[in-house]
């Protein structure tokens, strides 16, 4: 794995006293956003360019379904119209369908794929989203330790969908490794993590808004799970939490994953306005 410094831009930010707060969406390549967020008929090759004129960070999620390739990442860099940064979601071979005999090969492949972002100073985080079925048990704890060590040269964030992981031992372990615990906004259902504003890294904090569609959360179609539009009052409720988190870390990234019908883009834009009103941006 390359030890290329992750980001000149990010290291420059380290000397600043204020938090580098950026807000965006989880994914951007959604044809259904045409005519709602993107111009009608603009074409998919121009999506990222139009996106970058509104937001200054994006969370890439295609990397979960297929391994990122260096050439594609280089192409993404060339499509932005402003120098936004990227969070990259770890491939499912590293979080959901882990093969003990081959996961280390997946580490190498994934790391090589995202290297252009790191080399360009445009990689803000690698996100490990572990599913509800990833339980707080010995084998899982050992795997988590190994995979975080394997990616230690990159800025890391971990999302647990199972509330078992939100305990003192895990939180202290993340702090010792300077890994961000992803704060979540999601339905209040049994077994899911509670809302929190815990910060476990002095360099990075990470928030994901999944929507509060509890009736569809366990539905087999994940697109229904994220079909939700936050109200202004629901977003306002997060402003004090964001203020608390931003005071404890150098960089804070916030992504909206309620992508159905361009709701994520609308809510990210709304939240940006609220953050500006609160003088967080």
Question: Could you read off the pLDDT of 206-239 as tens digits, one per residue?
Answer: 999 999 999 999 987 777 899 999 999 999 999 9
Among candidate residues 86, 84, 85, 110, the one with its CA nearest the CA of residue 98 = 110
Give the pLDDT confidence of 135-180 residue by residue, as tens digits: 999 999 999 999 999 999 999 999 999 999 999 999 999 999 999 9
Among candidate residues 243, 253, 201, 210, the one with its CA nearest the CA of residue 228 = 210
How many Å apart are CA 67 and CA 62, to the nearest integer?
Answer: 8
Among candidate residues 231, 271, 235, the one with its CA nearest the CA of residue 253 = 271
pLDDT at 92 over 60: yes
* Phi and psi torsions of 142, nearest 5°: -65, -40
How many Å apart are CA 233 and CA 237, to the nearest integer?
Answer: 6
35: left (phi over 0), alpha (psi -120 to 50) or beta: left
Among candidate residues 249, 232, 74, 67, the one with its CA nearest the CA of residue 155 = 249
The mean pLDDT of the chain is 93
185-211: average pLDDT = 96
The hierarchical CATH code for the domain 8-277 is 3.20.20.410
What pLDDT does residue 279 have?
95
pLDDT at 17 over 90: no
Query: pTM for this one?
Result: 0.92
CB atoms within 10 A of CB 266: 17
What pLDDT does residue 6 have?
41
User: Bridge partners of 127?
Assistant: 89, 157
């Amino acid at each position: 794995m390359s030890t290329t410094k992750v980001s000149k831009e990010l290291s420059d930010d380290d000397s600043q006293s204020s938090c580098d707060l950026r807000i965006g969406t989880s994914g951007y390549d959604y044809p259904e956003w045409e005519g709602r967020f993107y111009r009608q008929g603009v074409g998919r090759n121009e999506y990222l360019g139009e996106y970058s004129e509104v937001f200054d960070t994006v969370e890439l999620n295609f990397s979960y379904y297929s391994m990122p390739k260096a050439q594609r990442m280089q192409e993404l860099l060339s499509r932005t119209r402003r120098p936004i940064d990227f969070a990259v979601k770890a491939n499912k071979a590293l979080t959901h369908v882990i093969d003990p005999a081959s996961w280390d090969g997946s580490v190498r492949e994934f790391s090589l794929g995202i290297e252009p972002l790191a080399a360009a100073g445009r990689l803000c985080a690698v996100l490990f989203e572990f599913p509800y079925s990833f339980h707080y048990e010995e084998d899982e704890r050992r795997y988590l330790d190994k995979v975080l060590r394997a990616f230690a040269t990159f800025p890391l964030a971990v999302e647990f969908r199972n509330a078992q992981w939100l305990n003192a031992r895990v939180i202290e372990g993340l702090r010792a490794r300077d890994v961000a615990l992803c704060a979540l906004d999601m339905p209040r259902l049994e077994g899911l993590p509670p809302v929190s504003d815990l910060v476990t890294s002095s360099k990075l904090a990470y928030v994901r808004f999944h929507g509060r569609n509890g009736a569809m959360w366990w539905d087999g179609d994940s697109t229904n799970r994220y079909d939700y539009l936050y109200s202004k009052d629901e977003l306002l409720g997060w402003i004090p939490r964001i203020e608390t988190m931003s005071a404890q870390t150098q960089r804070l990234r916030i992504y909206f994953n309620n992508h159905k019908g361009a709701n994520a883009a609308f809510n990210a834009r709304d939240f940006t306005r609220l953050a500006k009103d609160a003088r967080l941006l």
